[in-house]
Amino acid sequence: MSFWQKIKPTFLSYSSKGKDAVKLPFDVKRIWFFAIFLISIVSIGPLVSLAIFDYTVTKNDTEKEIQLRMEHLVDHVAGTVSFFLEQRKDVLSYTVYANSFADLNNKEHLANILEGLQRSAGGIVDLGLIDSTGKQLQYVGPYDLLGMDYHDKRWCKEVREGKKRVYISDIFLGFRRAPHHIIAVKQGLPDGSFFILRATVDTEKFKELLSLMNIRETGDSFLINHKGILQTPTLRHGVAMDKIKLSIPAESSSLKVSEEICEHGDKLVVGWAYIQDSPYILMVIQKKKDLIKTWLTTRWIILGILSAGIFVMLFVIIHVASYLINIICKESQKTMMVLNEVEHSSKMASIGRLAAGVAHEVNNPLAIIYEKAGLMKDLFTYKEEYSHDPKLMGLIDSVLTSVERCAGITKRLLSFSRNLDITVQTVNMHAAVKDVLGFLHKEAEYRSIIVNIDIPKDIPDFKTDRGKLQQILVNLTNNAFAAVEDEGHIDIKARRQNNENIMISITDDGCGIPPKNIKRIFDPFFSTKTESGGTGLGLSIIYGLALELGGKIEVESKEGKGATFTVTLPLERGENESPPTDERSWDLEEPIQ
């Protein structure tokens, strides 16, 4: 006996459903669950409460730490970007202040200024001098932009009409058809007009500044404008000039940190800050699961220890409760078994007396019918017109055969109350099947059920108990009729298996038998029709009859496609041969229904 069987509550071995289920005199299941529940609440409840409290506190602390780290990171990078822009604005403002319009309109002088700016400040790609009409008078840089007219460009309009002296643009393509940013400084002239010194900011410089951030592999940092257009390339959220798929942060004078769910379902921690005096918004994004990875690892370790502790405690609680319940159940079972044995013996005795009485009462009229039918047959033989009438003589023979069959049935009723010897006689398989179908042909016609009989002519007559064989065939055929729907099909086949055995199979295309019931279908009192009056004895009796005839019975079935019952019988059955032993093994732990 396994360890689980020792501690398993006995009541779990019994079914609480079905009229034949064994019932204990009290609700053991309820007592068992109540004992386990009460002890578990008292012992495990405080431990789980403490674990939940610790989990909540550490989770809140971790999220606060993540927010503080993100705020510090965003503040640091936002300051770096602001300083970079302010430095370039100041350099350009000083250049305009320190040089006259004529000097700046000199290409060599302007080229020297660009070279000096690139060496000292860096991040400047080219310089251009633009007059008040928007025409570029002078240009030094890698592109051919001299003489270009910018009067209708958005940035030029804002500089010419704007109140700000220094203008920083967001990213655009322009005449060079490449994404870039500009810083433009507006300077007045003595005659009331003005000129604009325009510098292109190196986009790679922004990428370099953002790459200095200490961001995890799954993180990302970039600049967007107030419309959500990317100003710098990103790792996972698009390229420059794409529309960002995340929500645009609300305008704020201070940096903010929030959580957002991306299109892939990942939870993101988003930090942002508006860069002052610029159209840029700095955004820093990291996956939350990466930021709390260490805490998650620790959490799983704690949960593992807690689960192991709960498992051990539940194991001990269930063991103790089951051990106590088992003691109660064993004593209750002993009492119930004695009561069931007494009740069963009383029932069997009553049924035996009833069967003997019915058989006796039926045998008397049967004897009279048999005698009168025999006398009629003898009288018919004296007249040639009757004796040579096959239909009339066949009817008399049919009556005699039916009486003999009824006599066999009454003998089987008597065998229920006392053991009778097997009556061995020569049986023709085709005739036996025809006799059985004689009881059911009306139902077959009414329900349009097609019954196919396949019995080859080479099947020899064999010696067996005709009544028991017919009882087997009647029960199996009845079961097939019950299983199929109207217009169903039933096949009855017989084959000679070898020189010693004959095999009879009955196949239907009905509902089939569930796999869980196949192993128990021949058990006594097992039935799926207890609610509709089934006793669960039909197939069990057939199994026993097959053994008595020296054969065996097997079943194959697929649920929803039908079932096949196969009976194998010997061709020769001795008069004094004793029936084989029933080799079915009964599981005492399984409830009998």
**CATH number of the domain within which 120 lies:** 3.30.450.20
Mapped onto helix, strand or coil, the DSSP state of residue 454 is: strand
Q: What pLDDT digit, counting tens, does each position of 429-465 carry? A: 888 888 777 667 778 888 888 989 898 887 888 888 8
Residue 269 backbone phi and psi in degrees, to 5:
-100, 120
Q: Are both 147 and 287 inside the same structural domain? A: no
Task: Say how many C-beta atoms besides its own lie within 10 A of residue 447's C-beta.
Answer: 13
371: which strand partners? Answer: none
pLDDT score, position 540: 72
Task: Tell me the one-letter amino acid at 478.
Answer: N
Q: Are both 444 and 549 inside the same structural domain? A: yes
Q: Distances in Å between the alpha carbon of 439 and those of 53, 65, 389, 435, 446?
A: 76, 87, 26, 7, 13
Q: Are both 283 and 313 inside the same structural domain? A: no
What average pLDDT does range 352-361 have in this prediction?
71
The runs of H, that is alpha helices, within 453-505 are 466-483
Q: What is the mean pLDDT of the chain?
A: 80
Residue 182: pLDDT over 80: yes
pLDDT class for 73, splitting at 50, 70, 90?
confident
Greater pLDDT, 282 or 26:
282
Q: Are both 321 and 266 inside the same structural domain? A: no
Q: Are both 131 and 187 inside the same structural domain? A: yes
Best CA proximity match to 270, nearest among 297, 294, 298, 291: 291
Q: Are both 51 and 172 inside the same structural domain? A: no
Q: Are both 437 and 581 inside the same structural domain? A: yes
Token duo for residue 144 = 């051919």
Q: What pLDDT digit, counting tens, does each position of 28-42 carry? A: 778 888 888 888 888
pLDDT score, position 198: 94
Distance CA(98)–CA(92), nearest Å, equals: 10
Q: Are both 281 and 304 inside the same structural domain? A: no
pLDDT score, position 354: 73
Is 489 among the domain residues?
Answer: yes
Whether 465 and 450 have beta carbons less than 8 Å apart is answered as no
Token duo for residue 137 = 């008078």
Q: Are both 331 and 477 inside the same structural domain? A: no
pLDDT class for 565, splitting at 50, 70, 90?
very high
pLDDT score, position 579: 52
pLDDT score, position 216: 58
Q: What pLDDT digit, counting tens, does each position of 187-238 carry? A: 988 888 899 999 999 888 888 888 766 565 667 889 999 999 998 888 888 8
Q: Are both 193 and 228 inside the same structural domain? A: no
Is 65 among the domain residues?
Answer: no
Q: What pLDDT digit, counting tens, does each position of 276-314 carry? A: 889 999 999 888 888 888 888 888 888 888 888 888 888
Q: What pLDDT digit, counting tens, does each position of 94-130 carry? A: 999 899 999 999 999 999 999 998 888 788 999 999 9
pLDDT score, position 107: 92
Task: Say how many C-beta atoms besides its own lie within 10 A of residue 351's C-beta.
Answer: 13
What average pLDDT does range 342-369 have in this prediction?
70
Best CA proximity match to 20, nearest among 520, 563, 548: 520
Is 437 among the domain residues?
Answer: yes
Domain boundary among 225, 258, 291: 291
Is 356 among the domain residues?
Answer: no
pLDDT score, position 112: 93
Distance CA(251)–CA(466), nearest Å, equals: 99
Residue 490: pLDDT over 70: yes
Distance CA(200)–CA(198), nearest Å, equals: 7
Is 416 among the domain residues?
Answer: no
Q: Distances in Å between the alpha carbon of 96 and those of 188, 323, 347, 510?
A: 10, 96, 120, 99
pLDDT class for 148, splitting at 50, 70, 90?
very high
Whether 260 and 210 have beta carbons less than 8 Å apart is answered as no
Please list, in sequence order, all residues whose beta carbon lies within 8 angstroms of the beta carbon of residue 218, skipping any fewer than 6 positions away. 286, 287, 290
pLDDT score, position 585: 41
- Total structural domains in the chain? 4
Is 133 among the domain residues?
Answer: yes
Q: Which of 107-116, 240-249, 342-351 has the lowest mean pLDDT?
A: 342-351
pLDDT score, position 458: 79
Is 315 among the domain residues?
Answer: yes
Please list, in sequence order, all residues whose beta carbon lies within 8 angstroms of the beta carbon of residue 129, skipping any fewer than 6 positions away. 101, 104, 105, 110, 136, 137, 138, 139, 195, 196, 197, 198
Distance CA(126)–CA(111), nearest Å, equals: 9
What average pLDDT does range 502-524 have in this prediction?
84
Distance CA(552)–CA(542), nearest Å, equals: 10
Question: Percent of the chain, pLDDT > 70?
Answer: 82
Whether 517 and 528 have beta carbons less than 8 Å apart is answered as yes
The Cα angle at residue 509 between residues 451 and 441, in degrees rounded to 5:
25
Please list, in sequence order, all residues whose beta carbon lies within 8 angstroms of the beta carbon of residue 300, skipping any fewer than 6 positions away. none
Is 73 among the domain residues?
Answer: no
pLDDT score, position 421: 46
Domain boundary among 338, 366, 396: 338
Q: Are both 593 and 444 inside the same structural domain? A: yes
Q: Which domain, by its residues, includes 546?
A: 423-593
Please list, in sequence order, all residues whose beta carbon lies within 8 angstroms of the beta carbon of residue 276, skipping any fewer than 6 positions away. 82
pLDDT class for 21, splitting at 50, 70, 90?
very low
Question: Percent of the chain, pLDDT > 90?
Answer: 17
Rg for the chain, CA atoms, rounded: 50
Please list, in sequence order, all residues whose beta carbon lies within 8 angstroms of the beta carbon of residue 134, skipping any fewer than 6 positions away. 149, 150, 151, 152, 153, 156, 160
Q: Are both 52 and 117 inside the same structural domain? A: no
